Structure 1
């Protein structure tokens, strides 16, 4: 008996990517991961959304640096602005600026701007005399001693409190007669007052200075000033008689040249690759870097033996860290007498990526030679496995809440601004902006671009309460328009697989579009040219279901692009199984 042919029922199975993932540049993608994103945000994961709108708050002709305290501060060419007001000029170079209390310390200029008095001062001071210089004994405050006798032999019949400058030895000694003991008592500390026009200008009590040019008497060298006025300085010393000279005397308060500077516990910390040294200023005083009086507020310096240049510096969890490409130096303690230094042979920041060191919550993130890393104080861990093998350089990073923003340059020279959600571990690419600096002001993060634009990253959190542009810098804060933010998501290849030649017969997208937002869907089959699948414009904010029915193929990609507000709430794939013959 002849049998009639029959058809096998096709088995269908549905794979739903309910958890939208982030960017994956490795070439091996899971459901919900994207091989390309533009202006997308993973903060709402498992929902993928267009990033928040930014606010343009300034345009600079020549961006030379930015920092935020309770107000925004930036340098435009040589002009220094704080809260939108112009306060003075600095050198025409890119700045490293560090906040220390109410002061903004500016490097490499070595200037200080006080945000309370709106005035500048200098970390360094060099005074060179041009006329007569007089040196005499004085009290610590610079006032003259009362009468005293200078001689090699003691005065006869002394009275209580009488002073005698004993010149019998190699070095004069000031003594006071004590009736109670009937003896001459040596004074523990004596002072000299050096007087000359302008010799004390810009100096103050407790400054550590280097004095040179005083003839004889051993008064040259490093000293700590006890008092100062424009035309005199006083420091510890002794002199047998009043001296005068016209030879030049130089008084200098110096600050080391440093590659990277940070603030921790009311001290500035810096490092020098040229000198292989790490420095700390005196407690609360960024003008004094060579003050060594043996007390808790002293300056601090140490020499580092590890090879290579410093690549970055940061403060975290009560310690200051200085990185090289192959190690991290950590300094901890409360004062110079108990500072301790350790070296950890971990990956450090890459040369040229020192500005990538940024703290997000309690962890430190940075760009190393090979990857983007997180450092918890005990170990370094890579977080950039999904960014593939591309070699990025020149990284600059910032933080906002739990997110890391990092701008990096690829080998082809193109720039990429990426975000990393430290909670979900998801990466997204925003756009190709080249960021020079990030600055965080309360809840808002600002970025300064190479084009001179200053952006607040999240329009919803931008507040003029803590950023008011002054009358010297008239710029109207402008929020991005929805239609100006184009976005894109592109899946990896959805491959046919299994012995029954499974293939994707349907892709369904669930989108939420804002008013007047547009979305365009394209598909690509078997590496052929991209084909338009459908387009939609949102008349009002609502959800849209977009079904796509591709013709049978082995490889399928989907791209969703558009402008305006958008959220991808879900994506599902309907998979059909064919026969062993591929039908």
Structure 2
């Protein structure tokens, strides 16, 4: 008898993803990465977890600003200042610069301060004008009693004795009479003098060591210790204010606090301020990438590092040269970026090519995930978690939102050496009751063919027959609706030369 030739089938092979590496838009990204995704969070190490649902905790009409202060949340909605959802005053419309000092919130450019204990909104500046009588160490005029001992005030408008136009410190207030140091003034009468406790027109503000810091023009300055309304006291004391001119090119783009020093950013450099009192303050300039213009709200402290969005992407600063950590997001920059961190995850939102995007970074694994296409204009982290400002109000994670999600894996067969015929796709994951799972396969950039669409629940290994396509590069898209944690992905295929 003749032996018939034995026919050998094409070898069956498997490619697996057991460590998910999140979003990576770069060419030739690492295995386990997604070239695009939606609806995921990096909160589960090595897995791909659908993000939590979201709930709106405060509805707004035209929200512009958000800040955690005094154990609560302050929001500016149009011209309304809201604290814990209740209107407490009126401010100008538009975008503001906010900073918390204990239980007080300062608001620029309005130069207003909100006290969360007394629930009052007041002007930071004090201005008075009228007729005044000078003695060698005092001035008297109706209404002058609104100033306080320790105020640094600027006197102007004196014509009879121009030498009385100066900046001086109030020592005592006796009714409508202000008392100063001896031989401070020339005695006389002025019919139209002005007295002002002035606050600078600060472009960016932050708090450190019970002082309010900020920049205006090319000047870095800080308030008197403990008093954000008092800036013009320079008596050689540890409690004095401070002001210094800078000579670097370009406009300031933001400020922040890191450990022992403050950082005042320009796009091409950073001014670092060291010291704890005016006699010790030193300014050093570092030629490192600073905050990109319009992205001052991306300055965020997390896990002992300071993060901000620069022209080179999101950088992490630990005291030396910052490290860029956003390479997986691609080369397209974010505009109007804002950031916030909680629970080991940093959230970043901005406009990417004019389109809103909200992504998040695991501070443990370094994995990025795209959460959705909603814009967060600002973040705040009071004691009860992370909040962010959306287009119609304030949001936080939680609630009953059913999340739609999608993950696009493009890394199967990227060596391009042999043609492949996918025969089965396996998905291992944990699924909430009623979660819908869809799976689709594409070869060599062709159209995706749906190979699975079902509602599932519990811990599952989904064994899915794949469409009979053939190509050198296979792409897989897994999508769905509802809670899920993807733990592994396997593609089984036949391989052979064409």
TM-score bracket, shorter-length normalisation: over 0.9
> What are the equivalent positions in structure 2 for 1:449-460 lying under 5 Å apart?
449=390, 451-456=391-396, 458-459=397-398
**Contact 1:67–1:438 at 8 Å: present in 2 too?**
yes
**Contact 1:448–1:455 at 8 Å: present in 2 too?**
yes
Cα deviation, residue 224, structure 1:
0.3
The 1-side partners of 2:414 and 2:82 are apart by 60
Which whole-Å deviations, capped at 9, do the CAs of 1:436-487 have from their partners, x for residues lacking one? 11110114010001x222101x32xxxxxxxxxxxxxxxxxxx2332xx211
Q: Which residue, 200, 223, 232 being the options, matches 2:168? A: 223
Question: Which SS does the other structure have where 2:450 is aligned?
Answer: strand
Q: Which has the larger radius of gyration?
A: 1
> What are the equivalent positions in structure 2 for 1:214-253 lying under 5 Å apart?
214=158, 215-216=160-161, 218-228=163-173, 231-238=176-183, 243-245=188-190, 247-253=191-197
Go from structure 1 to structure 2 and tell me whether the alpha carbon gap of 1:500 and 1:314 turns closer, same or farther (over 3 Å shift). Answer: closer
Structure with more strand by fraction: 2
Q: Which residue, 313, 326, 334 being the options, matches 2:268? A: 326
Cα deviation, residue 239, structure 1:
7.9
**Contact 2:163–2:185 at 8 Å: present in 1 too?**
no
**Contact 2:42–2:362 at 8 Å: present in 1 too?**
yes
Cα deviation, residue 111, structure 1:
0.8
Q: Which residue, 367, 372, 389 being the options, matches 2:331? A: 389
> What are the equivalent positions in structure 2 for 1:392-403 lying under 5 Å apart?
392-403=334-345
Question: Which SS does the other structure have where 1:386 is aligned?
Answer: helix
Structure 1 match to 2:7: 7
Structure 1 match to 2:377: 436
Structure 2 match to 1:101: 102
Go from structure 1 to structure 2 and tell me whether the alpha carbon gap of 1:224 and 1:535 turns closer, same or farther (over 3 Å shift). Answer: same
Structure 2 match to 1:167: none
Go from structure 1 to structure 2 and tell me whether the alpha carbon gap of 1:284 and 1:241 turns closer, same or farther (over 3 Å shift). Answer: closer
Go from structure 1 to structure 2 and tell me whether the alpha carbon gap of 1:500 and 1:83 turns closer, same or farther (over 3 Å shift). Answer: closer
- Structure 1: gaps of 5 or more residues: 138-191, 460-478
**Contact 2:419–2:470 at 8 Å: present in 1 too?**
no
Question: Which SS does the other structure have where 1:441 is aligned?
Answer: coil
The 2-side partners of 1:341 and 1:432 are apart by 40
Which whole-Å deviations, capped at 9, do the CAs of 1:23-77 have from their partners, x for residues lacking one? 0111323321111111101211211111012221011111131111211111111
Question: Which SS does the other structure have where 1:25 is aligned?
Answer: coil
Structure 2 match to 1:115: 116
The 1-side partners of 2:356 and 2:474 are apart by 29
Task: Name the TM-score, length of structure 2 as normaliser.
Answer: 0.94
Cα deviation, residue 505, structure 1:
3.3
Whether 2:367 is the aligned partner of 1:426: answer: yes
Whether 2:464 is the aligned partner of 1:547: answer: yes
Structure 2 match to 1:417: 358
The 1-side partners of 2:355 and 2:37 are apart by 15
Go from structure 1 to structure 2 and tell me whether the alpha carbon gap of 1:241 and 1:49 turns closer, same or farther (over 3 Å shift). Answer: closer
Structure 2 match to 1:160: none
Cα deviation, residue 125, structure 1:
1.4
Structure 1 match to 2:284: 342
Count of aligned pairs between the two proteins = 495
Structure 1 match to 2:28: 28
Structure 2 match to 1:282: 224
**Contact 1:56–1:480 at 8 Å: present in 2 too?**
no
The 2-side partners of 1:280 and 1:496 are apart by 56
Cα deviation, residue 211, structure 1:
0.8
The 2-side partners of 1:217 and 1:350 are apart by 45
Q: CA RMSD in A?
A: 2.1
The 1-side partners of 2:247 and 2:358 are apart by 36
